[in-house]
């Protein structure tokens, strides 16, 4: 009888202990789950705050682009460089005057609108209204792009008034300097330099836009590739390739 009682008491105790242990495990698991959830919520909050800050900074940094330098800014320089015809000397300045008038009208309509949106973005930023701020940033980007496109489209028209040879005379010196600088450390021979300038001259005539201070990679890329594959010697290619790898890894190999 005592044995049975002891067994029953032991079973009850075991069950109670198991229940307590199970409860402790559940409690610990629940705490871990709640902790993980809090961490996730905190991460989401931090990410949302970071994204908002990034959006706000982008919006506040957007500006309407200033009028870029134009090949029509100095007609005497343009004439000296490409030798304009009498018709071009008359027609290009007239086109430029119309462009300036159109740009002034665009600014009159849109600059105030742009400034108002910038002020709204600043005000909404304090409320952390992501959706409203994003909509304003998109509008600011659209206006900025529209002004840049306005200027670029007219610059293409000015350049289109020139003949291919004239366009080459304008673009070739700019493009030649960039390409020669790219390969100057290889000490190209006079013959190689002549070949580079000849290739650049051909490409310069084909360009539909005048080159300025910032020449895009899509313009310089094909010329660099041509020089690398068709003009450089095998040894020069080896040195050049090593230098490019060095630039990516931060190590100088020349």
Query: Tokens for 248?
Result: 């990516």
CB 128 within 8 A of CB 48: no
d(CA 32, CA 74): 72
d(CA 39, CA 51): 18
Written as tens digits, the pLDDT of the chain (254 aa) is 554 544 455 554 555 545 655 665 566 666 666 665 555 555 666 765 676 677 767 667 788 887 777 899 999 999 999 999 999 999 999 999 999 999 999 999 999 999 998 888 888 777 667 788 888 889 999 999 999 999 999 999 999 999 999 999 999 999 999 999 999 999 999 999 999 999 999 999 999 989 887 888 999 999 999 999 999 999 999 999 998 887 777 655 44
CB 92 within 8 A of CB 163: no
Query: Tokens for 247?
Result: 């630039």
d(CA 11, CA 207): 93
d(CA 140, CA 60): 9
pLDDT for the residue numbered 7: 46
Segments making up each domain of the chain, as ranges: 68-162, 165-249
pLDDT for the residue numbered 82: 95
- Would you tell me how many other CB atoms lie within 10 Å of the CB of residue 80? 10
d(CA 25, CA 27): 5
């Amino acid at each position: 009888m005592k044995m049975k009682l002891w067994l029953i008491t032991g079973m009850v105790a075991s069950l109670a202990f198991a229940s307590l242990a199970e409860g402790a495990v559940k409690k610990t698991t629940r705490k871990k789950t709640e902790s993980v959830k809090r961490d996730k919520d905190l991460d989401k909050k931090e990410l949302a705050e970071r994204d908002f800050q990034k959006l706000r900074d982008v919006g506040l940094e957007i500006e309407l682009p200033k009028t870029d330098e134009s090949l029509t800014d100095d007609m005497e320089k343009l004439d000296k460089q490409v030798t304009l015809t009498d018709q071009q000397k008359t027609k290009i300045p007239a086109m430029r005057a119309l462009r300036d008038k159109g740009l002034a009208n665009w600014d009159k309509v849109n600059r105030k609108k742009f400034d108002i949106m910038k002020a709204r973005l600043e005000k909404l930023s304090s409320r952390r209204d992501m959706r409203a701020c994003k909509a304003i940033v998109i509008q600011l980007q659209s206006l900025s792009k529209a002004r840049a496109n306005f200027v670029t489209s007219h610059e293409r028209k000015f350049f289109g008034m020139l003949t291919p040879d004239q366009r080459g005379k304008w673009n070739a010196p700019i493009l030649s300097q960039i390409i020669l600088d790219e390969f100057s450390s290889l000490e190209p021979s006079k013959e190689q330099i002549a070949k580079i300038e000849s290739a650049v001259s051909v490409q310069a005539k084909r360009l539909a836009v005048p080159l300025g201070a910032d020449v895009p990679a899509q313009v310089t890329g094909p010329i660099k590739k041509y020089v690398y594959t068709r003009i450089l010697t095998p040894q020069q290619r080896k040195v050049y390739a090593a230098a490019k790898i060095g630039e990516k890894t931060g190590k100088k190999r020349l």
